[in-house]
């Protein structure tokens, strides 16, 4: 029997590990990601790629290597399972390098175990004794000492055996490569297009590569972004980027020194809410005589509302908005900073406020691994991240917990925090595709009924009601009059048919108006004393959120590596630009849209108020150059981990 095992070893290894991978998939049970035929091919191919080299070893050495592989891969997969049960994510290289997240499992490890997990080690009862027997074998010891048994049969026979081993190993490698490449290529060129550049969740990669393939890709991704991107940036590039950050810091320093609102609300709590896909074109509007956002409309009466405020996101969508608002940096042109550079340093709002004696916590009733938040929020300095595990799902709605219950439970959690505090809340109920159950639909959308646009109006109407309840909960908890309350929309609603927008708004939209509708999101600031209420027209963007909060609290930010400037000031800041990832910008007077084909003559410069195309595009040229400088400076600081180098004394 033992003599037959070397020949059967690799097929048995693949079959046993396929069982364990299927068990892993069943236990993590991610919706819509159950293992299918393509996944099994990828899994088998990955195992072949991991084990092909064992065929080059002597027969008994091959068995020992396969046993070692079984143990190591089982341990890796089981570690992923335990980590997933706690964080709803997979272990990555940055997680291992920043071991705090893994360490958090220590106190909870017992609760994460299940009797079904014993199946992962069921084969060890036979493999471990076999491995011990092989290690004790004189024949193996001789092979390890360089005296293979085949040599005693003559050099010709030994050579033929070596050639057979080499050929079989190469054949298994090529088969494994084909089994992996075909399904992954099929997915990445169809339903999973751009997944490997714009991935939003490690589990999305797992859905294509499998758990072992994911770790291979994660290793490649980490090496590519940290070891293979060439040498240090040119000193001139660093100097130029530092100059951009210095210029913005000087503006904030000047405002701190001269603006009477600087420090007016020193010591107040800060409550910041990020609203999912909430755009500003719905605010203050009616349909069939019914207001779409009655609670926000009411709140605007004693708050500052910025109706020229824009999202600045790219592929990272929600995570880009989070980065822009909390770190005042631009997103990357591809992928998400949260998933690509979560281990880099940032001058976040949470860290800055903690330096000022604040507690800082994040609240989001979804899986903590989504957008790599578990790790990124540790980097951004939050004391605690209250993810889905912290909530009772008593109002299941859409992707997770309905916003009404989410806000109610979040207020209870933040009320237990020491004051002053910073609380960052991320809503979810108005997430694409916006279809809410009939039981919570309270807006008559008329002719839009049954369309995605109508569902979107229903969703934002529900979120508006949740905002109204949140304000009531904060007042009941005694927090409203002690807090700066702010909310903004994170990105557009991804509806690419302009006809319903024009029907809803009552007129045709020119290109400039479409750009403003697409990028426009609400930004509201309620001050503890209800002062300075009104609608403000100056242009602003998500990069301005953190500097606005710090300015009102009297915390200097001139020395921080931030690109935004405060919006709540006694006088609007003259000449301020809002820069978009594409290189577009607006300063409230003009709107510049760069050429899609890269040819400068195809750029467009619009009059902001009318939306008409200006005959002289040169009016936008200085601002376009400044936009490029901002994007290049931000990209350099993020990708090369140069935020600390961009800081200076205020």
Q: Encode pLDDT of 248-299 as tens digits.
A: 999 999 999 999 999 999 999 999 999 999 999 999 999 999 999 999 999 9
Of the ranges 226-240, 327-341, 481-495, which is most confident?
481-495
In this structure, the answer to whether residues 276 and 219 fall within a common structural domain is no
Percent of residues, the chain, with pLDDT higher than 90: 68
Q: What is the mean pLDDT of the chain?
A: 89
Q: Do 220 and 241 fall within a single domain? A: no
The number of helix segments (H) and strand segments (E) in the chain equals 24, 18
**Tens digits of residue pLDDT in 479-519:** 999 999 999 999 999 888 999 999 999 999 999 999 999 99
The reply to whether 216 and 270 lie within a common domain is no
pLDDT-derived band at 322 (thresholds 50, 70, 90) equals very high
> What's CA 114's distance to the chain center, in Å?
30
In this structure, the answer to whether residues 86 and 129 fall within a common structural domain is yes
Does residue 201 sit in the same domain as residue 303? no
Query: Are the C-beta atoms of 536 and 567 separated by less than 8 Å?
Result: yes
- Given a cut of 90, whether residue 182 has pLDDT beyond it is yes
Q: Decide which of 195, 226, 257 is a domain's last residue.
A: 226
Shared domain for 289 and 197, answered yes or no, is no
Does 477 share its domain with 553?
yes
Q: Domain total for the chain?
A: 2
Convert the pLDDT of each residue in 144-176 to its tens digit.
Answer: 555 555 445 567 787 888 888 899 999 999 999
- 616 and 554 inside one domain: yes
Instruction: Give 21 or 398, the one with higher predicted confidence.
Output: 21
Other C-beta atoms lying within 10 Å of the C-beta of residue 102: 16
Q: If you average pLDDT over residues 471-480, what whole number do you get?
A: 98
What is the C-alpha to C-alpha distance for residues 68 and 59, in angstroms, rounded to an integer?
Answer: 15
For residue 617, pLDDT beyond 50: yes
Q: Name the residue with tokens 């609760």.
A: 111
**Domain end call among 180, 207, 226:** 226
pLDDT > 70: percent of the chain: 90
Instruction: Give the residue numbers spanning the domain of 403.
Output: 235-646
Listed range (24-28, 260-264, 526-530, 564-568) with the worst mean pLDDT: 24-28
User: Of 632, 599, 597, which Cα lies nearest the Cα of 617?
Assistant: 599
226, 254, 281 - which closes a domain: 226
Interhelix angle 545-553/317-327, nearest 10 degrees: 30
> Mean pLDDT across the stretch 629-646?
95
Residue bearing the bigger pLDDT, 461 or 30: 461
User: What is the reported pLDDT for 440?
Assistant: 93
219/242 same-domain check: no
| 317 and 361 inside one domain | yes
What is residue 424's predicted lDDT score, i.e. its pLDDT? 98
Is the per-residue pLDDT at 348 higher than 90? yes
Does 580 share its domain with 493? yes
Does the structure show a pLDDT above 50 at 1? no
Between the CA of residue 541 and those of 74, 576, 581, 599, what are the distances in Å?
48, 10, 12, 27
Residue 8 has pLDDT above 80, yes or no: no
Q: How confident is the model at residue 60 (pLDDT cuts 50, 70, 90)?
A: confident
Answer yes or no: is pLDDT of 597 > 60. Answer: no
Of 225-239, 240-254, 550-564, 579-593, which gets the smallest average pLDDT? 225-239
Which DSSP string do the residues of 53-96 spell out, in sequence order?
Answer: GGGGS-HHHHHHHHHHHHHHHHHHHHHHHHHHHHHSS---HHHH
Which bin fits 122, alpha (ψ -120 to 50), beta or left (φ > 0)? alpha
Between 110 and 174, name the one with better pLDDT: 174
- Domain shared by 563 and 603, yes or no: yes
pLDDT for res 7: 63
CB atoms within 10 A of CB 57: 18
Q: What is the CATH number of the domain that holds 307?
A: 3.40.720.10
CA–CA distance, 287 with 121 (Å, rounded to integer)? 61
> Whole-angstrom Cα distance, residue 288 to residue 150?
88
Q: For residue 145, what pLDDT is reported?
A: 54
- Specify the pTM: 0.76
pLDDT of 546: 98
């Amino acid at each position: 029997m033992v003599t037959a095992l070397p020949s059967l070893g690799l097929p048995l290894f693949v079959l046993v590990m396929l069982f364990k991978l299927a068990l892993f998939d069943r236990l993590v049970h991610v919706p819509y990601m159950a293992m299918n035929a393509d996944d099994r091919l990828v899994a088998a191919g990955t195992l072949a790629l991991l084990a092909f080299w064992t065929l080059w070893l002597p027969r008994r050495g091959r068995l020992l290597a396969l046993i070692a592989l079984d143990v190591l891969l089982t341990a890796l997969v089981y570690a992923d399972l335990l980590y997933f049960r706690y964080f709803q994510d997979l272990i990555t290289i940055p997680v291992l390098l920043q071991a705090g997240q893994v360490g958090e499992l220590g106190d909870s490890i017992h609760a994460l175990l299940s009797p079904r997990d014993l199946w992962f080690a069921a084969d060890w009862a036979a493999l471990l004794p076999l491995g011990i027997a092989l290690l004790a074998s004189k024949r193996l010891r001789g092979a390890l000492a360089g005296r293979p048994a085949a040599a005693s049969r003559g050099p010709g026979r030994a050579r033929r055996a070596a050639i057979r081993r080499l050929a079989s190993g190469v054949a298994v490698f090529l088969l494994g490569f084909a089994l992996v490449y075909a399904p992954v290529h099929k997915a990445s060129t169809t339903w999973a297009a751009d997944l490997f550049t714009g991935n939003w969740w490690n589990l999305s990669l797992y859905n294509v590569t499998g758990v072992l393939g994911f770790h291979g890709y994660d290793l490649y991704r980490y090496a590519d972004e940290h070891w293979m991107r060439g040498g240090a940036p040119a000193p001139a590039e660093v100097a130029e980027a530092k100059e951009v950050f210095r210029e913005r810091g000087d503006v904030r320093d000047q405002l701190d020194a001269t603006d009477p609102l600087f420090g007016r609300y020193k010591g107040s709590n800060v409550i910041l809410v990020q609203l999912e896909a909430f755009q500003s074109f719905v605010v203050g509007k009616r349909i069939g005589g019914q207001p779409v956002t009655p609670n926000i409309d009411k709140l605007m009466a004693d708050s500052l509302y910025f109706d020229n405020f824009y999202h600045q996101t790219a592929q990272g969508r929600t995570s880009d908005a989070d980065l822009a608002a909390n770190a005042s940096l631009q997103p990357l042109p591809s992928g998400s900073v949260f998933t690509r550079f979560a281990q880099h340093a940032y001058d976040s709002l949470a860290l800055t406020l903690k330096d000022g004696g604040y507690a800082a916590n994040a609240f989001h009733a979804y899986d903590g691994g989504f957008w790599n938040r578990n790790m990124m929020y540790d980097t951004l300095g939050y004391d605690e991240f209250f993810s889905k595990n912290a909530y009772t799902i008593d109002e299941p709605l859409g992707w997770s917990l309905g916003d009404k219950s989410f806000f109610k439970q979040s207020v209870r959690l933040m009320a237990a925090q020491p004051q002053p505090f910073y609380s960052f809340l991320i809503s979810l109920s108005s997430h694409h595709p916006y279809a809410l159950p009939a039981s919570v639909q309270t807006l008559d959308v008329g002719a839009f009924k049954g369309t995605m646009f109508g569902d979107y109006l229903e969703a934002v109407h529900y979120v508006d009601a949740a905002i109204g309840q949140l304000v009531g909960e904060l007042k009941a908890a005694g927090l409203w009059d002690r807090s700066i309350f702010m909310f903004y929309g994170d990105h557009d609603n991804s509806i690419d048919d302009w006809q319903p927008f024009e029907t809803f708004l009552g007129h045709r939209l020119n290109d400039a108006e479409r750009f403003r509708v697409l990028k426009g999101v609400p930004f509201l600031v309620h001050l503890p004393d209800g002062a300075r209420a009104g609608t403000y027209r100056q242009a602003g963007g998500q990069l301005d959120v953190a500097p606005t909060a710090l300015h009102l609290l009297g915390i200097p930010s001139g020395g921080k590596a931030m690109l935004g400037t405060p919006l709540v000031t006694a006088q609007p800041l003259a000449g301020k630009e809002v820069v978009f990832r594409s290189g577009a910008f607006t300063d409230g007077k003009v709107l510049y849209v760069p050429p899609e084909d890269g040819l400068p003559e195809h750029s467009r410069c619009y009059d902001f108020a009318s939306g008409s195309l200006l005959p002289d595009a040169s009016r936008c040229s200085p601002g376009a150059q400044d936009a490029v400088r901002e994007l290049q400076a931000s990209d350099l600081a993020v990708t090369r981990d140069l935020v600390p180098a961009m800081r200076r004394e205020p």
